[in-house]
Amino acid sequence: MRYSSRIFLYGPILIVAILFAAAGVHWWQRANVWSARLEAANGHEIMPGVHFHFATKKISGFPFGLDTVLSDVRLSVQTEAGETIWQTEKFALHGLTYGRDETIFEAAGKQRLTWGGQHLNFAIGALHGSAILRKGGLQRADIDLIGFGSTAFTAKRLQFHAQRQEGSILLLTEAEGLASKRSCVKDVHDRYAAVMEKAALIVPLLAGDASYGQTLQRWRQAGGFIKPQSTSPLAALRAEDATDVGALARSYCP
C-alpha cells in the first residue's frame, strides 16, 4: 500500500488515539474535570482540522481509574483529499489515575467511514486499541479489529501497530482470515511492515498541535518516505479499494 493510502485508511483511527491522548486524557484527580473537558470539546475542533461529536457520555471507575463510555461518536478529519469521517455507535476509554500514561479504548456497534465521495459501512465483533504517551506526544498506537465484515471483504482479524523510534516510526499491518465472497481470496493471512522515515517532522501532529494535511504535506516536501520492510499484496491496495469487491482478487489471485 502506498504511504498516502495507508495513512488515509488508518489516519482516522490513529487520530482518535492522538486526540484523546495528547488532548488531555491524563485522568485528572477529579472525574468532573474530565467530564467538563469532554463537554467543552463536544461539537468543536479539538485539534487543528479535527472535529469531535458525541450524543451521550457516562463516566465511572474513580478514584483508581476512569472509564468513559460515549454514544454516537462522530470524528471528522480534514485531509488533502477532503473530509474523512468515522462514525461509531459506541466508544469507550479506560485509564488509570496512576502509572504510565496509557489509555485503552474500544468501539462497538455499526461503523461508517466516509471519504472522497465514498463510504464504507462495516460491522466489527470488537475493536480494541491502546495509546501510550511519552514526552507530551503519542509514542505508540495499537489497533486490533476482531470479526470485520463489509460488502467488499471480511476478515477474522485486522491489526495496525505504530511505534515511534529515533527519527522514524515503525508501521505494521496484519490481516488474518481475509476473504472476499466474489473472488479466490479465501482465509488469507498476510502482513506488511514498513518504516516511516523523517518522522520527526510529524511530531507536532502526534502531540495534537498540528493538522493532518499540513503535516503530511511538509513531510513529503522535506523528502519524507515510507520504506517497506517486507513484501505483500497489501502494499498495492489503495484507499478506494476498501469499497471495491474486486480489489482483493486483483492483488491476490493469479
Of residues 21, 81, 72, 73, the one with CA closest to residue 49: 81
CA dihedral sign of residues 163, 169, 133, 155: negative
What pLDDT is recorded for position 67? 86
Cα separation, 159 vs 171, in Å, equals: 11
The total number of structural domains that make up the chain: 1
> Rounded to whole angstroms, how far apart are CA atoms 16 and 51?
11
Count of residues making up the chain: 254
Provide the domain limits for residue 150. Answer: 3-252
pTM equals 0.81
Non-local CB neighbours of 171 within 8 Å, separated by 6+ positions = 6, 160, 161, 162, 193, 194, 195, 196, 226
Q: Per residue in 10-45, pLDDT tens?
A: 454 555 646 454 444 444 455 777 788 889 889 998
Q: How far is residue 38's CA from residue 241's CA, in Å, rounded to a whole number?
A: 35
What is the model's pLDDT at position 3?
A: 46
Residue 130 CA to residue 141 CA, distance in Å, equals 6
pLDDT of residue 11: 55
Which residue ranges in the chain fall short of pLDDT 70? 1-30, 62-64, 96-100, 136, 238-240, 254
